[in-house]
Amino acid sequence: MTARPSELYVHHSCLRQNLGVIVGGVLRRSAWVVLIVGFAVILTYTLGEDGHPTVILRIVAGVGALALVVMYARVMRDMPGRQLKSVARQRQMLAVRILQLVAAVVLGALTAAIGAMTVPAVAASVLVLPLPVVVIVGAVTGERLW
């Protein structure tokens, strides 16, 4: 018994929708960690410039980056790459959230390893500022983001 093309389309559409829900759930939970990592990077730079110790903030940035990698890797290890691209094309806000997550991992790891630097602090500011915009756009478009 073979499936008709219309049945295959419905199946693939449901699969993309389910994958979008799974990835969206992980990204909703990780948004808070992205925010924490961003603020840790910014505060590391700010306090480092004033001569204050930054060890705790560097640890927070590193642990946050590691937590983001673990959260994302647990979901992505079983997800086919083609399907993820298809879901990201269908739900552009997920693609934006994935980019925010990757940026937070890179900035957090850099800050934890090297310390306070200007470029990661500025990039973290650029990372933290759009998070509320992403939430508002998601609410307007009906895509639950938090």
Query: Model confidence over 22-36: pLDDT tens digits?
Result: 777 777 778 889 999
**Number of domains into which the chain is organized:** 1
| pTM over the 0.95 mark | no
Domain-embedded: residue 13: no
Say if 9 falls within a structural domain: no
| pLDDT for 116 beyond 60 | yes
Would you state the structure tokens that stand for residue 68, as one six-digit string?
A: 């983001």
Q: How confident is the model at residue 44 (pLDDT cuts 50, 70, 90)?
A: very high
Q: Reply yes or no on whether the pLDDT at 78 is more than 80.
A: no
CB atoms within 10 A of CB 101: 23
Q: pLDDT, tens digit, for every residue of 120-135?
A: 899 998 888 887 777 6
Q: Are 129 and 121 in contact (CB under 8 A)?
A: no
What is the residue range of 68's domain? 23-139
Asked if residue 111 is part of any domain, the answer here is yes
Answer yes or no: is pLDDT of 43 > 50. yes
The answer to whether residue 135 sits within a structural domain is yes
pLDDT tops 70 at residue 143: no
What is the per-residue DSSP string for the chain? Answer: -PPPHHHHHHHHHHHHHHHHHHHHHHHHHHHHHHHHHHHHHHHHHHHHHTT---HHHHHHHHHHHHHHHHHHHHHHTTS-HHHHHHHHHH-HHHHHHHHHHHHHHHHHHHHHHH---HHHHHHHHHHHTHHHHHHHHHHHHT----
Look at residue 7 and tell me if it is in a domain.
no
Q: Which of the four pLDDT bands, split at 50, 70 and 90, describes residue 8? A: very low
Angle at 67 between CA 104 and CA 18, to 5 degrees: 85
Residue 14 lies in a domain: no
Residues 115, 122: Cα–Cα separation, whole Å: 14
Q: Is residue 123 part of a domain?
A: yes
Is residue 145 one of the residues assigned to a domain? no
Tell me which of 58 and 97 has the higher pLDDT.
58
Sign of the alpha-carbon torsion through 20, 21, 23, 29: positive
